[in-house]
Amino acid sequence: MQDIKEIQERIYPPMVEGEHTFDTVTDKISDLTLKKKTPFHWFIGFGIAFIIAQILLFTILYLVTTGIGIWGNNQPVGWAFDIINFVWWIGIGHAGTLISAILLLLNQKWRTSINRFAEAMTLFAVACAGLFPLLHTGRPWLAYWLFPYPNTMGMWPQFRSPLMWDVFAVSTYATISALFWYVGLIPDLATLRDRAKNKYFKLVYGLLSWGWRGSARHWHRYEITYLLLAGLSTPLVLSVHSIVSFDFSVSQVPGWHATIFPPYFVAGAVFAGFAMVLILCIPLRHVYRMKDFITHTHLVYMAKVMLATGLIVCYGYAMEAFFAWYSQAQYEVFMMKNRAWEGPYWWSYWLLILCNGASIQLLWFKRFRESEFWLFTISIVVSIGMWLERFVIIVTSLHRDFLPSSWAMYSPTMFDWSMFLGTLGFFFTLIYLFVRFLPIISIFEVRTLLPSAEVEHHHGHDGEHKESFIEQVNEPKGETA
């Protein structure tokens, strides 16, 4: 029997480790928010992130009062750090939707412990991304002109512009992701409401939980809504970054005019997103002692997804070089030579290949896949590499125009860097607030993964037993109004 159990665990590794019951799962996750004092390291991390976020605030104030001339944008590099960072942040947000929606529809249990903060990461990344095109217009107070609202002047946006497609794609993505995240939170917010001792916390969680009582009717409506939102989110994973890639691929600029961009960008987005999920979850599982819920199995699966999507990205790099050689178009050939070795930014291209192509090859080996140190290090290297990818695509394709008389160098100013670093501070400020005030792991979903839940599920064929099981697993513990 012991041998059979070991074989089963090797084939189907447990998603929750340790001897946990429904009560211990609820206690361990909810106590981080309700009972334990805020640790000192949280104040240090939040303080650093908040200070860096203030750099973003002051940069935006100076930008709005002075103009976008404080950035290093020039002709022909009209798109620079703002669009680089926009595409980078949008890409980071993709892993949350993939984990939440697609893996839910595919019934992958390993999503359960990581979907909550991956969804939060998506929202915060989209919030950071939206700042850049908004401010790039130069007059952000007139941003509502981008929406097709009825007006007396009869002026409408240019719907044939891929930048307009971005407006609709990103706003839809942000809306659906926010709804998906919030709907998934409602049962856990009710749990926090019923367990909270502080009357203000109780009031806030009560308002946010919308009167949830865990009844059969509530669960029926919840599951329908959650599946519908998952179904809506799934095509968004593919469509949003495809539309972002159309910003480049529908143009005639050498280095951009390529049909491979949509799948290449989507794979790169998932690649960067999973790298950021690993950067967040590896410290979280240590600091908050969540190793029983975010197990080594979760880390290994994420490493495998990162390896698979990274190889697709490497294929995209190879195809770019192949297209330039096979087409024998002089502008495409020049672009590739300029990007790889003849141009002034050759270092960024090879650093990109090193970060995204060479570093992930370590993930073929079990020793590196199962090492938290190496996973964390590789994830940081990949995040840097994906930022460099956007730099290479945008700057090295634009700074050498069709006419040599239009050539110019691009150098970011201190305001370009302060804007970028400020969004990092803003992102981590929101992450710290989320970790402090909301459950970072889905309580009720983790409870359904326990062996006792599976046993009850198999024995609960009749309506009475099954209904009692659902109430036991999912109804918030504590008093009910």
- The pLDDT of residue 446 is 76
- Kindly state the average pLDDT of the residues 218-231: 86
| Backbone phi, psi, residue 251, to 5° | -85, 180
Q: Is the pLDDT of residue 435 over 80?
A: yes
| Backbone phi, psi, residue 161, to 5° | -85, 130
- The pLDDT of residue 472 is 45
Digit-coded pLDDT (tens) for 123-168: 899 999 989 988 888 888 888 888 888 878 778 888 888 888 888 8
Q: Is the pLDDT of residue 1 over 60?
A: no
Give me the domains of the chain, ranges plus CATH numbers: 28-145+158-441 (1.20.1630.10)
Q: Read off the tokens for 396.
A: 């090295």
- Kindly state the average pLDDT of the residues 5-11: 52
- Kindly state the average pLDDT of the residues 322-333: 88
Q: Which of 151, 166, 214, 164 is CA-nearest to residue 188?
A: 214
CA–centroid distance for 415 within its chain: 25
Digit-coded pLDDT (tens) for 297-312: 888 888 998 999 999 9
Confidence of residue 4 (pLDDT cuts 50, 70, 90): low
Digit-coded pLDDT (tens) for 57-87: 999 999 999 988 888 888 888 888 889 999 9
pTM listed for this prediction:
0.85
Residue carrying the six token digits 């009031």: 203
Report how far apart, in Å, the C-alpha atoms of 10 and of each of 4, 7, 146, 446, 467 are: 10, 5, 54, 20, 32
Q: Read off the tokens for 471.
A: 């109430």
Which residues does 302 contact at the CB level (< 8 Å), separation at least 6? 114, 274, 277, 278, 375
For 372-408, give one letter per residue: b (16+ CB within 10 A) or e.
Answer: eebbbebbbbbbbbbbbbbbbbbbbbbbbbeeeeeee
Q: Are 275 and 382 in contact (CB under 8 A)?
A: yes
Q: Are 321 and 336 in contact (CB under 8 A)?
A: yes
Rounded CA-CA distance 49/128 in Å is 14
Q: Which of 386, 226, 208 is CA-nearest to residue 312?
A: 386
Q: Dihedral (C-alpha) 57, 61, 62, 65: value to the nearest 10 degrees?
A: 170
Q: Which of 175, 88, 178, 185 is CA-nearest to residue 133?
A: 88
- Kindly state the average pLDDT of the residues 355-374: 90
- The pLDDT of residue 251 is 87
Digit-coded pLDDT (tens) for 169-219: 888 888 888 888 888 888 888 888 877 777 887 888 888 888 888 788 888
Write down the mean pLDDT value for the chain.
Answer: 82
Within 10 Å of residue 201's Cβ, how many Cβ atoms? Answer: 16
Rounded CA-CA distance 109/179 in Å is 21
